[in-house]
Chain A
Amino acid sequence: MKLGRRAFLQFAAGAVGGTLLSPIPWQLMDDSAIWSQNWWWRPSPERGEITQAATTCMFCDGGCGIQARLVNKSRAILLQGNPQNPINAGGICPLGAAGLQFFYAPYRVAQPMKQTKKRGDIGGLQYISWDEAFTMLSTKLAQLKSEGKARTVAGITGQRRSSMDDLWQQFFAGYGSPNFFRMPSQADSLELAAKVTLGQEVPFAFALESASYVLSFGANLIEGWGAPGRMQAAYGLWRRENGEKPATKVVQVDSRCSMSASKADQWVAVAPGTEAVLALAIAQILVKENLYDADFVKSHVSGFDDWNDAQGKSRVGFETHIMSPEYAPEEVAKRTGVEASKIRELAKEFAGSKNAVVVWGESSGNLPGNIYHDLCYVALNALKGNLKSGGTVTLAPTVPFEPLPGLQMDAAAKRNLEEQRLDLQQSPRARLNGNGLYAFLDAASKGTPYPVNVLMVHEANPAYSLPENKLFQTALEKVGFLVSFSSYMDETAQQADLIMPNQMALERYDDAIGVPGVPYAYYAVASPILKPMPGTKHTGDVILALGKSLAGKLAAALPWTDYQAYLKKRVEGLAASNKGAIADRAGMELWKLQPGDLVQTNYKDGADLWKKLTSGQCWYGAPVSAAQKIETTSGKLELALSSLSFEDLPDAGDKVYLPHFAQLSPSGDPKEYPLLLVSYRTMSLADEYLPNPPFMTKTVWDFVLKGKELFVELNPQTARSLGMGEGSRAMLKTPQGELPVRVHLFPGAHADAVYIVEGLGHTAYDQYIQDKGVNANSIVEVQLDPVTGLGTVWATRAQLRRA
């Protein structure tokens, strides 16, 4: 039989009919739809048992309790605040919430690396084994030590409130180098202010939760000042009214209408950098109108009346000094731009409020302040009697650990070692020795009196985050060997000769010793909630291993097998003190604790305390009254700096001994640079060791960062006079350098200033972080405080011209 065209069509028609009645077309249609939903790149969440693991957040030193949501106990999918923690009470900041991105980040350093080409050449960084990396470093350190050059080894850490800091100190002391520094912090100058006034080198703490009136001089209260988690919780309390207690009144003195200013009850706009003189004007009114706490001043303050110095010379006291016409409201009004009547009103309000407190934070709240200005604010608190027992200002309590095993070094040897510290070798020598990182960098860049052969950088990224970061770069040119312990390929790691990657914050044992600004004693342990990346190692373990390899004194000073054992031993020591208790339930209002309150211990022994701390609970103790802890020679709070000598400044008068307005003059010609560049921080941008995780960058306004362009804030009037409008492209030039920016018109900006955000302009990491905006640190100017030698930043002269 021959099949023709007709038969073929008939067969085909039948086949089509049959196919339509079979599952083929329908099944294929359905399956191809499903197939199209399953491209290989589509993320597929892991399924399994969901558990929670509680720990302490280590993304900053705010000490928040956090919880991670885990799938199959191994994959973290969410970080949130731990409601049981008294600091943040369940709250979390954007950095913590986005923090998991650091764990999964592609820019993590997966294994040790060494530079095989020129320093800074990323292509030259090659993976090496841990054995090789360790041998490289330990051989170098052993050699320098045997040559008597131990002091040429230096270190910088960004983790000042953890046992890591103590371990580093122990290592450096045992090794024989005094050159160990921390990244700058407001605590640097607060500690020194407490040292000269109270004889105690610990920072101040503020009972903000119980305050009824908060007078903030530039402290960016809800944008990262102190501990962000605690400040969020405190803000919640301020805004809550109850029967006896009205909502707390918050007054923000600031040159810019920051978030803190806009959320305050009142924003007092001042000229940039003049907050301290306003404080002095308020002090004058308090003294003049007898509105200060005369009882407290009489019983607890020295230097208020005229006083005699060590040579018996009579000096002017604060009472006389503050009456200077310089601090009269009318005079201060001219300087600050705040009307005299307003200053009087503020003074009366402050004096009339029962629990008023003064807080402050120049240098965008995270850097040391001008010591004289710190003292102005301390004086204002003292006049109000805030430092007495039960007052709003206390001293940060210490956690009663057992001392670390002693180093066999006598006092003379210790002092000798101290005196060799590079920052102190710099001239002119500071009168108060603090964390002189800038002076150290200066000495390192000169290579005198001795060079820095090895610099170890831990949990810090000074090449990016240090204000005037080129100072680090310049110093680096003379540094023989840079070791980075960073978990991430950051700007500093890129410059390193050797990278020994630390485990990231969620993978390691760590701890938080106290919380910035919080009055009660606090201790929390961070335990690993995720398996560490195989090629990383806890820096603590590296230090301990170095100690063993270098033997001698160091081995005795660092006897622990590993970092976990070291922490455990510390916790056992804390338990042995039999002080403090575990916060074991949600809603504990620890801020209600008063100095001297008895805290009933609720842990059995060291093992029990360790178990509780590693399960995410925290230890707390009672606050410490400032007035009861005064250890000055006079036994009183010293408003006059009687312990310091200014004999070398015979013409300076008595003012140098007293809190006064001592604004440092920025460099550059005001004609060439008519504006003042002021940097600010926001909660949407991380500006220290950690970069901005991409999730967080999503929360940045498009008038701060649009595409790759950063916007500076400019008052509309100023912009008009410069011929600029919203979005204008401009070059921002300071004596330190220039950067391309765009202009955002902001009526909350002071007319004399231009404001730049911190935290942008990274050059390292990955495509989602780098090249977004510009780095403010590269054009700001750091000025060394003449008394403390600490690097301070308040403003930099700047010009803005159309690009």
Chain B
Amino acid sequence: MKEENKSASGKGVMGGIIFFAGFILALIIGWVVFPNLLYSQKPQPMNFNHVAHQDSSCEDCHAFRADGTYAGIPKVEKCKECHESPMGSTEDERKLVEEYIQKDTEIPWRIYSWQPDNVYFSHAPHKAKKVECKECHGIMGSEKTLPAYKDNRITGYSKETMKMIVCEECHAERGVNNECELCHK
């Protein structure tokens, strides 16, 4: 009997170890492997160096239009104001001038915060309530290279696309309306 008990307790320990191994492996897969599998890294068409543009303010390029809507990433027209011909000698600038400005085509930027069509989002009220850009978009002004764009293989949206829960939490914290129709019009 004693033998058996001992054996049973040995088995129990062994079983625990096996259970734990499965548990740990799943956690590793879940937290480390899965996210890397879920997102594919896609390159931006060219690099943009925010640091090199420190002489202009954020609003020079990321402006609000006259009707209060937010213009987002500037159009090539804006780049053209300074870069009609190259100002420096970087490969990216050559690309900008030759492939986009001269051909008058827009740069197909991948937008990190692209919201789905069923979400109505307006920057204007957020700006009016003094929500800073960096609270949602991070500090971009000090980026020399653009961060990697992580594309969700299932949804096709960027990893940075803000989820509804984040919107709701912030609204709740600030006592702002959280009705469905506010964003899903």
Contact = CB atoms under 8 A, between A and B. Distances in A.
Interface string A466-485: 00000000000000000000
A13 B27 contact: no
Interface string A31-45: 110110110001011
Interface in B10-56: 14-16, 18-27, 29-31, 34-35, 38
Nearest to B106: A72
Contact of A24 (B15, B34, B67, B152): B34
Nearest to B117: A44
A24 B30 contact: yes
Given A10-B22, A18-B25, A49-B69, A23 B154 contact: no
B71 interface: yes
Contacts of A13: 19, 22
A24 B28 CA distance: 11
Contacts of A45: 117
Contacts of B14: 7
A129 interface: no
Nearest to A14: B22
Given A21-B27, A23-B35, A38-B156, A7 B18 contact: yes
A19 interface: yes
A586 interface: no
Contacts of B69: 49-50
A607 interface: no
A307 to B, nearest CB: 67
> Lowest 7 CB-CB distances: which A-B pairs, in order?
A22-B30, A18-B26, A14-B22, A14-B23, A14-B19, A15-B22, A11-B22
A437 B154 CA distance: 63
A37 B15 contact: no
A18 B23 contact: yes
Interface in B132-159: 152, 154-157
Contact of B154 (A15, A19, A35, A44): A35
12 contacts: A10-B15, A13-B22, A15-B22, A17-B19, A18-B26, A19-B30, A27-B38, A32-B154, A34-B155, A37-B116, A44-B117, A45-B117
A50 B67 contact: yes
A30 B116 CA distance: 14
A6 interface: yes
Contacts of B5: none
Given A18-B23, A19-B29, 14 more contacts: A7-B18, A10-B19, A22-B30, A23-B30, A24-B29, A24-B34, A30-B163, A31-B154, A31-B155, A37-B116, A38-B116, A38-B155, A49-B71, A50-B69
Given A24-B34, A31-B154, A35-B155, A15 B15 contact: no
Interface string B81-108: 0000000000000000000000000000
A11 B21 CA distance: 7
Interface residues of A, number: 31
Interface string A568-601: 0000000000000000000000000000000000
Contact of B152 (A6, A17, A31, A42): A31
Chain B interface mostly: helix
A14 to B, nearest CB: 3
B168 to A, nearest CB: 14
B118 interface: yes
B22 to A, nearest CB: 3
Contacts of A18: 22-27, 29-30
Contact of A23 (B18, B31, B152, B156): B31
A16 interface: yes
B160 to A, nearest CB: 14
Contacts of A259: none
A16 B30 CA distance: 11
Contacts of B65: 49
Contact of A22 (B19, B26, B152): B26
A17 B18 CA distance: 13
Contacts of B155: 31, 34-35, 38
A409 interface: no
A12 interface: yes
Contacts of A31: 38, 152, 154-155
Interface of A: 3, 6-7, 10-19, 21-24, 27-28, 30-32, 34-35, 37-38, 42, 44-45, 49-50
Given A31-B154, A44-B117, A49-B69, A11 B19 contact: yes
Contacts of A37: 116, 118
Contacts of B19: 10-11, 13-14, 17
B18 A14 contact: yes
A630 B24 CA distance: 102
A31 B117 CA distance: 15
B118 A22 contact: no
A24 B37 CA distance: 11
Nearest to A28: B154
Nearest to B118: A37
Contacts of A42: 117
Contacts of A11: 18-19, 21-22
Contact of B29 (A16, A22, A28): A22
Given A11-B19, A11-B22, A22 B157 contact: no
B6 to A, nearest CB: 17
Contacts of A22: 26-27, 29-31, 34
Nearest to B111: A47
Contacts of A14: 18-26
Contacts of B16: 10
Contacts of B118: 37
A276 to B, nearest CB: 55
Nearest to A22: B30
A13 B118 CA distance: 39
A10 B21 CA distance: 9
A14 B27 CA distance: 10
B55 to A, nearest CB: 26
A12 B35 contact: no
Contacts of B24: 14, 18
A16 B152 CA distance: 24
A544 to B, nearest CB: 30
Contacts of A24: 29-30, 34
A77 to B, nearest CB: 14
A42 B117 CA distance: 10
A11 B154 CA distance: 29
B71 A10 contact: no
Nearest to B31: A22
Interface in B55-72: 65, 67, 69, 71
A259 B19 CA distance: 80
Contacts of B15: 6-7, 10
A13 B18 CA distance: 9
Interface in B164-181: none
Nearest to B156: A38
Contacts of B157: 34
A23 B36 CA distance: 12
A624 to B, nearest CB: 43
Nearest to B35: A23
Nearest to A52: B67
Contacts of A16: 22, 26
Contacts of B163: 30
Nearest to A19: B26
A30 B163 CA distance: 10
B36 to A, nearest CB: 12
A34 B26 contact: no
Contacts of B25: 14-15, 18
A16 B29 CA distance: 12
A15 B38 contact: no
Nearest to A30: B163
Nearest to A13: B19
Contacts of A15: 22-23, 25-26
Nearest to B32: A22
A255 B39 CA distance: 71
A14 B65 CA distance: 55
Contacts of B27: 18, 21-22
Contacts of B26: 14-19, 21-22
